[in-house]
Amino acid sequence: MAALALYGLATLYSAGQTEVPTFVAHIWQRQLVWLGLGLIAIWLMFRTSPRMLEWATPILYVLSIVLLLLTLVIGTGAGTAASSKSWLAIAGLRFGQPAEFAKLAVILMLARWLAAQREPPATLRQLIPPCLIAGVPTFLVIQQPDLGSAIVFIAVLFFMLFWAGTKPSLLVLLASPVIGLVLAFSTATWGLWIAILAGLLLWWRPYLWEGLAVMTANVLMGVVALPFWNRLAPYQQNRLLAFLNPDVDPRATGWHVIQSKVAVGSGGLIGKGFTEGTQKRLAFLPAQHTDFIFSVVGEELGFVGVLVALGLFGLLLFVLLRIARKATDPYSSLAVFGLAGLFFTHILENVGMTINLMPITGIPLPFFSYGGSFLLVCCLGIGIALRVAWESRQSGYAEL
C-alpha cells in the first residue's frame, strides 16, 4: 500500500513537470497533504470497530445521498471535470466530490443489507433492494453527469452480489437489460441476444413472471436505446464512438486516446526516463495528472514501469481478497470485497482506457490520480480492510 502511494506520488510529481506551465506543477505537494490526511483516515478507520461501522452505515448512506442531491443543486464544475456538477463547494471552497464518498457508502450499505440476509438472494425479487441501494446514487450521478462513477456503482453491485453468493444465472438475468441496451444499437445483435435470453430463461426456469419481467425489460431497452442515446451529452456519445474508432475525429474526441496511446507506445520497454516524457512535457497528453496519469507511467517508465504498477495493484487486490475470505463476519467480508471490487473497477477502467481497451470515462486511478476525495476514500477503505484483517487475526480464526 505504502509502495503504491509513493509510486503514485512520484508519478504525479512527474506529471507536473511540463514545459507548458500549468497548475499541475505543484499539485504533488497538495497530494502529499491529502496523503497525510489519508493516513489519519486509515488510522481512524483502523480504530473503528466494524460493528460501529455497521451501525453507522445507514446514516452514512443517507448522508451521501443527500450530498449527491445537494451537488445537483449547488454543485460546481472544476478541474478536468469542468463541465459537470460533481463538486460541492462551501463558501467558495471546493469541498470534495460526494460521488466518491457515495461509493464507499454504497459498499457499506450493500454489505449491511446482504449480510443481514440468511440465504443468498435466489430470486429477482430479492434483488430489488440491493439494486435500489446502488441504483439511487447511480441515478443521481448520471444526473451530474458522471457516467464513470455510475458504471462503478453498477459494477460494485454485481461484485458484491456475487460475493454474497448470488447464483451466476441470476446475475446474468439481472445484467441482461444492460446487455440488451448495449446490443440494441444493432437490430441483428439485439435479436440474437433476445433469442439467447429466451433460451437461458427456459433453461434456468425462474418464476414465470420474473422471466416475463426480464424479457419485457430487454425489449424495453431495445426500444428506449435510441432515445437514451440521444439524451446522452454529446461528449459522452463521442467518447463511446471514439472508443470504437479513435481516428474518427483525431483532433477532438479521439485526441485523448490517440495521444495516450502514442505516449504509452513511445515509452517502449523501459520508457523515456522519469520526468522525461515528451508527450507529457509538451502537453500533448491531456489530463496527465488525473485521468491519464497511467499514460505518464507508460511513457516515462515503459513496460517495466507498467508491469510494476500492475503488480502492485494486483498484490493489493489479492490481499484484499484474502482479507475478505478470512473476515470474521459477513458484513466485514462483503465490505472488503466491495472495496476490492471498487479498486478493481477503477484500475481496469482507468488503465484500460489509456490504451483504448475501455471507453474513456473520467474515473481516477487509486493512489495515482490527483484528487483528494478519492484518495481519502481509498484510504478509508484500506483502513477498514486493515481493521478487518486485524480482527480476524485477533480471533485466531485465521492464520493470517
Partner 1 sequence: MSAFHPHQLDRRLRAARTTLWIVLGVISLAFFRTQILGHGKYQLQSETNRLRPIPLPAPRGIIFDRNGRILAENVPGYTVSLLPGPPADLRRTLALIAPIAGLDSGDIADVLQRARRAPHQPALVLTDAPFAVVSALEERRVNLPGLLIQSEPKRYYPDSTIIAHLVGYVGEVTEGERATQRFASVRLGGIIGKDGLEREYDDTLRGAEGVRFVEVSARGQMVREAEPAATLSPVSGAELHTTIDLELQRYIASIFPPGRRGSVLAMNPNTGEILAMYSAPGFDPNAFVGGISPAYWRELNENPAKPLLDRAIQTRYPPGSTWKLGVAAMGLKRGIVTFRTHMPIPCRGGLQYGNRYFRCWQARGHGALSLTEAIAHSCDVYFYQLGIKLGVNTMLEDGTAWGFRGRTGVDVPGEIPSEYPTGPEYYDRLYGPRRWTSAVALNLAIGQGENAQTLINMVRLYQQLASDGRMRTPFLVRPASVPAMESVSLELTPEQIAGLRRAMVAVVEQGTARGSRLASLTIAGKTGTSQNPHGPDHGSFIGFAPAEKPEIVVGAVIEFAQHGSAVAPLVARTIAHYLGLDETRARSMRLAVPADSAPEPFVIPMPPRVDPLRIIPVPVIPLPTDTVRAVPSPPTR
The site for partner 1 (CB under 8 A) is made up of: 19-20, 118-120, 162-165, 259, 261-269, 278-279, 282-284, 298, 302-303, 306-307, 310, 313-314, 317-318, 321, 324-325, 330, 333, 337, 340, 344, 348, 351-352, 355, 357
At its nearest, how many Å lie between partner 1 and the CB of residue 115? 8
Helix H segments across 245-362? 253-267, 278-281, 293-326, 330-354
Torsion from C-alpha of 217, 219, 223, 224, nearest 10 degrees: 20
How far apart are alpha carbons 73 and 266 in whole angstroms? 44
At its nearest, how many Å lie between partner 1 and the CB of residue 313? 8
C-beta of 94 vs 167, nearer to partner 1: 167
Burial category of 348 from C-beta neighbours within 10 Å (exposed 0-12, middle 13-18, buried 19 and up): middle
Tell me the chain's radius of gyration from C-alpha atoms. 21
C-beta of 98 vs 302, nearer to partner 1: 302
> What's the first-to-final CA gap in the chain, in angstroms?
17
C-beta of 141 vs 151, nearer to partner 1: 151
Beta bridge partners of 88: 96
At its nearest, how many Å lie between partner 1 and the CB of residue 165? 3
Strands 93-96 and 88-90: antiparallel
C-beta of 84 vs 259, nearer to partner 1: 259
Cell of 254: 479521439
At its nearest, how many Å lie between partner 1 and the CB of residue 118? 8
Block residue for cell numbers 479521439? 254
CA atoms within 13 A on the CB side of 322: 13
At its nearest, how many Å lie between partner 1 and the CB of residue 329? 8
Nearby residues of 141 by Cβ (< 8 Å), 6 or more positions away: 68, 86, 99, 102, 149, 150, 153
- One-letter amino acid for residue 306 of the chain: V
C-beta of 38 vs 130, nearer to partner 1: 130
CA 319, 324, 327 angle in degrees (round to 5)?
120
Nearby residues of 128 by Cβ (< 8 Å), 6 or more positions away: none
At its nearest, how many Å lie between partner 1 and the CB of residue 314? 5
At its nearest, how many Å lie between partner 1 and the CB of residue 278? 5
C-beta of 5 vs 353, nearer to partner 1: 353
Q: Cβ(348)–Cβ(358) under 8 Å? A: yes
C-beta of 213 vs 355, nearer to partner 1: 355
Block residue for cell numbers 507548458? 20
- The secondary structure element, H or E, covering residue 322 is helix 293-326
Cell of 221: 431497452
At its nearest, how many Å lie between partner 1 and the CB of residue 330? 5
C-beta of 79 vs 286, nearer to partner 1: 286
At its nearest, how many Å lie between partner 1 and the CB of residue 271? 9
